[in-house]
Structure 1
Amino acid sequence: MLIGEVARRSGLSTRVLRHYDALGLVRPTGRTVGGYREYSADDVRRIFHVESLRSLGLSLKQVARALEDPDFTPSALVGDLVRWTRERLERERELLGRLRAIDAAAPADWQDVLDVVGLMRGLGSASAARRQQAVLAHPEGVPVPLEVLAGAVLAESDPHVAGALRWALARSGGDGVAALADGMRAPDPAVRRRAVLAVAAVPAAPGAATLLTDALGDADATVRGRAALVLGGRGVAAAVPVLVGMVVKGAGDVDAADALVTLSGDAGCAERILAALADELAAPGADSATRLRLTQALVELPGSAPRAVLRELAGDGDPAVALVASAFVKDDEV
């Protein structure tokens, strides 16, 4: 079988077949009277063996060794190929992510592309200072890849860099909130904490209120608390149970009490807050420190109803609670 026919049957070009011959990988066993290459059935079969191994990602050198060396075992090489392929796919996924980020930023010219690439390279630096500089030095007016910023926010552990990233997302006008949605539902609580901080930086952005409200039911107390403080400051009554819980636990209780004061501006919400605090004060097993924090929260609330509860607490069996309540009642009478 002449080289032209072999090329047609194998799908390989004559140039490739000549290259295989030159390497000694597939040498035709015969020659015609005129000196042309003549391939036997075994030669053609070897060509297909070569191409089969090539399809697995083996180099020509590795293919030659696999076909010629009886001691060459496939297990180790196939394991290496699996690892190399995974690494290549990871590099390609990273490349695809960068290309998508640049495409989403809609650059106007190649300078914009270079600026975005510079930002991404800076955010990938091992140096926290360089990551922060990459954010702060990004040219104003150049499109910002929001998904890249959001991903960096969710992964950033350095507080200074994280603050710069949140600032950059906030500067985008809130469009980056949607990119943080997955982070708000991440399995890792540390990622959810970073996400809620970033969303909290733009509470008025479209979608932010929904994400923060959903976060009130988060399993992590820090995530719940951050969402509650933001929503409480914006008058969202759904935050009341979490804020009262923060006072009970003593975690951010001062800020939680301030948010409760804001929420008490609504009459219906004020009743709900008072009832929740009173219930916790009367809860069996509540220790002195907890009841004292609850009493101090009551002191901050406006209106006559909290004062009536404090007058009752002035005679409480817990001296610390009674002292705080009595002092407020006396000041109020003066």
Structure 2
Amino acid sequence: MLIGEVARRSGVSARMLRHYDALGLVRPTGRTTGGYREYSAEDVRRIFHVESLRSLGLSLKQIGRALEDPAFTPSALVSDLIRWTEDRLDRERELLDRLRAIDASAPAGWQDVLRVVELMQGLNSASAARRQQTVLAGPDGGSVPAELLADAVLTEADPIVAGALRWALARSGGDVVATLAAGVRAEDVAVRRRAVQAIAAMPEAPGATAALAEALGDPDATVRGHAALALGRRGVHAAVPALVRMVVEGLNDVDAAEVLGTLSQDQKDQDRHQGQEHGQGQGQDPARADRILTALTDELARPTADPAVRIRLTQALLELPGTTAREILRQLAHDEDPAVALIASAFSGVLDERVPQETQGDPGA
């Protein structure tokens, strides 16, 4: 069968068949008396083998190895194809992300496109110093698009650069909570931690409180802790159980106790000292302090409570307002654990000194 007929039947151009011959992939078995290539039925079958492997994404060099190397098994070929395809998809996904970032920046001209490309290169640099500089300044003093910051903050391992990213993201004004909320649901716990920290730094962003509330159920204590502190500072009472657990476990227990104290104040005091956070508080609730106090004292009363845990709980009581907390501290001043008794006694004295200042001008106190 001559080359023209093979080309018509196989769909492979005569030019490509000559290329296969030159590479040694498919050499015609014979030649006519006039010197024309003549293909046998076995040659044609080999052409179809080559085309089938090409359709899977193999290069001609890889196809030659697959056809000639007896040790090159089909399973090895398939494994290599999977790895090559995954690598290609990763590269294409990276390209797609870059194109979307450029599109989201609404470039007005090629200079805008080049600027975003430069930003992405800076954020993907192997140098932490360059990444930080990109975040803080950007090329020519320009700002970094919020979507780029949101993607970068979820993958940044350097704590200094991560802090700069959160700072810039909180000031970007971009609507990126949805991107960060997806990070809160990631399988990688490191990504979840970065996401919840970034959301915590954006108290006024729409959807931030809901995303943080979702993070309260995270299996990782650090993720729960970041969410609980941020929600507590917003006046969200649902964070109380997680905050009490932080005191018990010694995870940022000082911060947790301070937030519990803030939550225990009446709403008027919170508004005066912290400012109203766009309707995120819970409204005036006189029983709120009692519920927090009960949660702490219940932990203190556990027969299995570790001495160190009881000390942290006693310290947390100092942050709570009202006479009930002071009375509990006076009782703990006679605790059978000397360390607890000593701390409670000292704190009782501190609170007694506070009372005249807190009640000055308030006859009903």
Instruction: Quickly name the TM-score band, shorter chain normalised.
Output: 0.7 to 0.9
CA contact (8 A) 1:295 1:310 kept: yes
Aligned to 1:270: 289
1:241-300 alpha-carbon deviations (Å, 9 max, x no partner): 122222233332222222112211242211211211222222223344433333333233
Aligned to 2:73: 75
User: Structure 2 residue aligned with 1:331, among 342, 353, 357?
Assistant: 353
Aligned to 2:50: 50
Structure 1 residues 204-213 or 49-58, which shifts more?
49-58
Aligned to 1:150: 150
**Matched residues, number:** 330
Distance 1:66 1:277, change over 3 A: closer
Aligned to 1:233: 233
Q: How does 1:1-334 map to 2 (within 5 A)?
A: 1-23=1-23, 25-27=26-28, 29-31=30-32, 39-61=39-61, 63=63, 69=68, 72-75=70-73, 78=77, 80-139=80-139, 144=145, 146=147, 148-266=148-266, 267-318=286-337, 319-328=341-350, 330-331=352-353
Question: Which whole-Å CA distance do the structure 2 matches of 1:197 and 1:226 have between them?
Answer: 6
Classify the secondary structure of the residue corresponding to 2:205.
coil
Structure 1 residues 100-109 or 200-209, which shifts more?
100-109
Question: Which whole-Å CA distance do the structure 2 matches of 1:13 and 1:28 have between them?
Answer: 18
Q: Compute the displacement of 1:187 (Å).
A: 3.0
Q: Compute the displacement of 1:307 (Å).
A: 3.1
Distance 1:53 1:296, change over 3 A: closer
Q: Compute the displacement of 1:107 (Å).
A: 2.6
Structure 1 residues 302-311 or 214-223, which shifts more?
302-311
Q: Compute the displacement of 1:9 (Å).
A: 1.5
Runs of 4+ with deviation above 6 angstroms: none
Q: Compute the displacement of 1:42 (Å).
A: 4.1
Aligned to 2:277: none
Please, what TM-score do these two structures have when normalized by structure 1? 0.84
Question: Which whole-Å CA distance do the structure 1 matches of 2:254 and 2:20 have between them?
Answer: 78
Q: Give the counterpart letter for 2:312 in structure 1.
A: R
Structure 1 residues 182-191 or 268-277, which shifts more?
182-191
Distance 1:211 1:3, change over 3 A: same
Question: Which whole-Å CA distance do the structure 1 matches of 2:182 and 2:290 have between them?
Answer: 36
Question: Which whole-Å CA distance do the structure 2 matches of 1:19 and 1:292 have between them?
Answer: 82
Q: Compute the displacement of 1:232 (Å).
A: 1.0
Question: Which whole-Å CA distance do the structure 2 matches of 1:291 and 1:49 have between them?
Answer: 75
Distance 1:82 1:302, change over 3 A: closer
Structure 1 residues 289-298 or 211-220, which shifts more?
289-298
Distance 1:320 1:49, change over 3 A: same
Distance 1:81 1:212, change over 3 A: closer
Q: Give the counterpart letter for 1:31 in structure 2.
A: T
Classify the secondary structure of the residue corresponding to 1:111.
helix
Q: Compute the displacement of 1:166 (Å).
A: 1.0
Q: Give the counterpart letter for 1:309 in structure 2.
A: I
Q: Give the counterpart letter for 2:353 in structure 1.
A: D
Q: Give the counterpart letter for 1:235 in structure 2.
A: G
Question: Which whole-Å CA distance do the structure 1 matches of 2:171 and 2:98 have between them?
Answer: 21
Question: Which whole-Å CA distance do the structure 2 matches of 1:125 and 1:299 have between them?
Answer: 48
Q: Give the counterpart letter for 1:96 in structure 2.
A: L
Question: Which whole-Å CA distance do the structure 1 matches of 2:22 and 2:247 have between them?
Answer: 82
Distance 1:202 1:9, change over 3 A: same
Distance 1:207 1:309, change over 3 A: same
- Percent of aligned pairs with the same amino acid: 67
Q: Compute the displacement of 1:225 (Å).
A: 1.6
Structure 1 residues 36-45 or 162-171, which shifts more?
36-45
Q: Compute the displacement of 1:322 (Å).
A: 4.5
Question: Which whole-Å CA distance do the structure 1 matches of 2:167 and 2:239 have between them?
Answer: 25
CA contact (8 A) 2:247 2:253 kept: yes
Structure 1 residues 307-316 or 177-186, which shifts more?
307-316
Q: Compute the displacement of 1:178 (Å).
A: 1.2
Please, what TM-score do these two structures have when normalized by structure 2? 0.78
Q: Compute the displacement of 1:315 (Å).
A: 4.2
Q: Compute the displacement of 1:198 (Å).
A: 0.7
